[in-house]
Amino acid sequence: MSICYVNGKYLLKKDSNVSIEDRGLNFSDSVYEVIAFRKQNLLNYVKHINRLKRSLNELKINSPFSNFKSLEIIIKNLIKFNALNNGFIYLQITRGTSIRNHLFPKFSKPNVIVILYNSKDTDHFKKGVKVITIDDMRWQRCDIKTTSLLANVLGKQTAEEKGAYESIQINKQNYITEGTTSNIFFVHSDNLIQTHPSNNNILGGVTRDIVIELAKRKKFKVLEKPLNIRSLKTIKEAFLTSTTVGVVPVIKIDNLKISECKPGLVSKQLMILFKSNSKKQIKNNL
């Protein structure tokens, strides 16, 4: 949208800027969050902020907020100023501006950027998507939501060029970690749901965690354990999760057809549960 927030000011995008010596620009020395909102209600806000606090702490970036309630007010004001009902908040916090040096600056004030984006039509994802597999080239702290995303960018572009929605990353031990912009789940013949555990090898997605909670409430067994790529032929369903698209069935991995190239029953059930959970949050805020 046209109005954003930068370092204490609400500005038109065309009038907003940060220094060319910002450490986010020079070193990817920054963290970010993407938060969905529907009918001007923030979804899963506390979970996102808790992850943001953790990311800041892991990178030793001083929090720009003494009280994160002020951030919530900033975001809600921004939504109203842009008169946007549904969309996504992009929030970035950098270590600040300083002369280019790999060492942390002794004195720097974090730069804070908040931008809104419109929701995209995701109805076509209900039919399922194709994904491809690639080598996982990322660093060993994928659990930090940093803006250092070059490996993810290259993987996503590779998927696009091969006519797929997403690239699923395979580590050196031949285990599937996650997608470039999503977490991935597998469903076995006995309806056991499997996904990579939340550790330094993946970004623990907010939607991922919610889907696990919802699945357990419905008495599905959930196994948080890496799946070896050799076991792909034994699964009956697969699906992706992310803040921007929710739950998305996977119908093809490379040349392997999943669930006869149709969304599986478990995947569809979790799609419904996740949407119902979002609607419940909105209703509770009214």
The catalytic site residues sit at 145
97 forms beta bridges with: 22
User: What is the C-alpha separation between 133 and 254, in angstroms, rounded?
Assistant: 7
Token representation of residue 240:
């992706």
38 forms beta bridges with: 41
- Residue partners of 91: CB distance under 8 A and separation at least 6: 32, 33, 34, 35, 52, 71, 75, 112, 113, 114
Question: Beta 246-253 vs 30-38: how paired, if at all?
Answer: unpaired
| Dihedral Cα 274, 275, 277, 283, nearest 10 deg | 170
Residue of 30, 50, 40 whose CA lies nearest to 1: 40
Token representation of residue 95:
């270590």
